[in-house]
Amino acid sequence: MSPPTPAVALLNREMAILEFNRRVLAQVRRPDVPLLERLRYICIVSSNMDEFFEVRLADYIEDARLPGAGALDADLETVARAAHALVDDQYKAFNDEVMPDLRRAGIVVISHAERDKAQRRWVDEFFQSQVRPLLVPVGLDPSHPFPQVANKSLNFIVRLDGKDAFGRENTISIVRVPRVLPRVIQLPARLSDGKQAFVLLTSVVRAHLAELFQGRRVEAFSQFRLTRDSELAVDDEEVKNLRHALRSGLTTRHFGQAIRLEVGQSCPRELSDFLLRQFALPQAALYAVNGPVNLVRLNALIDAAKAPALHFPPYAPSWPAAWPRAQSIFERLKQGDLLLHHPFESFDPVVQFLREAVHDPNVLAIKQTIYRTGGESPLMDLLLEAVRRGKEVMCVVELKARFDEEANINWAERLEAIGAQVVYGVVGLKTHAKLLLVMRREGTPKRPVLRRYLHLSTGNYNPKTARLYTDLSMLSADPKLTADAASVFQQLGSLGKTRPLHRLLQAPFTLHSAMLGRVKQVAQAARNGRRARIVLKINALTDVALIRALIDAGQAGAEIDLIVRGACLLPSGLPGLTERIRVRSVVGRFLEHTRILYFCWGAGAHNEALYLTSADWMSRNMFRRIEVAWPVRDAALRQRVIDECLIPYLFDTKDAWLQQGDGSYLAVGADGVSAQQALMERMQASR
């Protein structure tokens, strides 16, 4: 009897998230990426890091404060060092590569020292008319305590000499910069010397700080920015009205526990130490950066600059060839399921599906889940119109969709106000499933029948992100699949038990156990000497039970490929442990968001299954969310998913990264074949 295989130590989740952001930052150094898109990747890393501190590290720090968390404290120090190194690399790329290249391309950000007289005069007029009236410095003394500093807001700390107007020696003042002010300001063409010239608001305020303190001298100053824990604190068990509780919570979210302090690199030590004491932060929480403390706001420069050659070439998603534009979607779905691959194919057919349902007098009811739709949404406008036309409309609105709570509350209130049935899912479980169900009266007047039509998606009902994220969605009139969807909506509305589902797998009930069952089925096939194969394309792999099952299947002889965009805690390629498991990540022009699960446990189509899903393989998705997965049963559509969404990514040699056993990643190459580019070319050629 062979000795048992040693247990595999899993990777650290926070380090895995930072590794993903390193892969994003690597896009900045790719010469084939247009210059303004390189700057956009820097902004994306900044946005990702904000969320990392607001959410991920905030939870980690909370765990580190628990009794007996010594090992966790050591891990936290490792994570903090890695985060500092990543931020340093980000600003190095910004200062040494992107900004000099932009200057050579005729797009310049002009500091105060670089401005000529005419430019300084214009900036001064801008400050006096647009900025100064909104700035109110707060001098600190017993009657003026340290002001509230909102999450991610721009502020200045100033040290002054002399005495104030009342003869007191209060030396520290705080200047809050309102969010309503633009962070990037474009100079008029007449002052730009043939270039596109911009100034940053931080530079404008910095150049005029002294004017805010008449009669005193500014001895030292620095910009600073505080990142706070941004989880909404709502007790699901105690709250009586979730919408009202969240609406109230939104007003205090900006003032959660302090997590990170960013200051300018030239900030004097005594000022940064003062701020750290004020916010009760350790030295490791201080990030002294060589540039603006909020690089995310440079998205405004990207949008304002007129330089098409410095952007990715425009790509117009195609209308699916399988659906003639003039044909009713209801008639088309009677012929079979329809698959849409975004953003390579347009999201417009989804909007058209709902539009046709809204305007069809035979459609009686529409039900939809709402997770991230955005502040402006043609889909939400259509649902409002459906209510006005007298149709029964049910919306399951997820109020706790992180950072989209306010938009979702607003949509919920608008829908409720005109008579839609709005429910907020299940307390304690986020409704993350993407479902749109239409009920239509068909048949004859004497023998009417109700028929259901369904749209499911791996991504959100958001036309804007559908042009930036890769996702798959499916339209179907399959009676069992649509009946399952109707049961899910009934359950979310009534909170009652439903009959077993025919086609759909649903979290938190059957999805996790079904996936474990599939992985074990493949493992058993490998032990029996049959073909055994697993290919997963997901955004994150962190659920321990599923990871252990995959490791066991690999050790049994199954060949496993994991295409994981973000955090993956399974270390691949370890000799004798995970050598049959390969992990790759693809970072390209579009954000990889598609979730595909392929299992094979023998020869022939009857020994394979392919699912699409809204869920990643994370414990929160499996047990703390309402999620669905559905099988692609049509052989032609299943092969299409494999041909478009799995094989190209397994053979990507341009945008792909291979995970090493220690959790780091190596780029496959830079001059090979990009799966995303190949799909764009394929879709354009098929028009």
**Cβ within 8 Å of residue 92, ≥6 positions away:** 290
Q: At what angle do helices 13-26 and 35-51 cross, to 10 degrees?
A: 170
Long-range CB pairs of 406-414, under 8 A, 24+ apart, other chains included = 406/250, 407/373, 407/374, 407/375, 408/370, 408/371, 408/373, 409/243, 409/246, 409/247, 409/250, 410/375, 411/370, 411/373, 411/377, 411/380, 412/243, 412/370, 413/243, 414/380, 414/384
Other residues' Cβ atoms within 10 Å of the Cβ of residue 48: 19
Residue carrying the six token digits 């980000």: 90
Q: In the 8-state DSSP scheme, what is residue 465?
A: G
Phi, psi (rounded to 5 degrees) for 117: -60, -45
Q: At what angle do helices 348-359 and 378-388 cross, to 10 degrees?
A: 10
Residue 593 designated active-site = no
Residue 643 token pair: 């041909």
**CA 38 remoteness from chain centre:** 18
Cα separations in angstroms, 448 against 270, 303, 418: 79, 53, 29
Long-range CB pairs of 498-504, under 8 A, 24+ apart, other chains included = 503/478, 503/630, 503/631, 503/633, 504/628, 504/629, 504/630
Identified catalytic residue from 432, 455, 512, 593 = 432
- Sign for the pseudo-dihedral over CA of 491, 496, 502, 503: positive
Cα separations in angstroms, 143 against 76, 164, 170, 212, 218: 38, 14, 11, 20, 22
Residue carrying the six token digits 């190459």: 669
Residue carrying the six token digits 């969605």: 473
Q: Where are the beta strands (DSSP E) in 525-595?
A: 533-538, 559-564, 581-586, 591-592
Residue carrying the six token digits 């060589």: 290
Residue 178 near residue 207 (C-beta atoms within 8 A): no
**CA 363 remoteness from chain centre:** 34
Cα separations in angstroms, 145 against 149, 266, 561, 614: 12, 25, 57, 48
Other residues' Cβ atoms within 10 Å of the Cβ of residue 515: 26
Q: Annotate 477-510 with b (16+ C-beta within 10 A) or e (fewer).
A: bbeebbbbbbbbbebbeeeeebeebebbbbbbbb
Residue 441 token pair: 């009266």
By DSSP bridging, strand 218-228 and strand 138-139 are unpaired
| CB hemisphere CA count around 667 (13 angstroms) | 18
Radius of gyration of the chain (CA): 28
Helices (H), 135-268: 201-207, 242-250
Q: How far apart are CA 417 and CA 419, in angstroms?
A: 6
Residue 648 token pair: 């190209």
Residue 300 token pair: 């405004």
Active site residues: 432
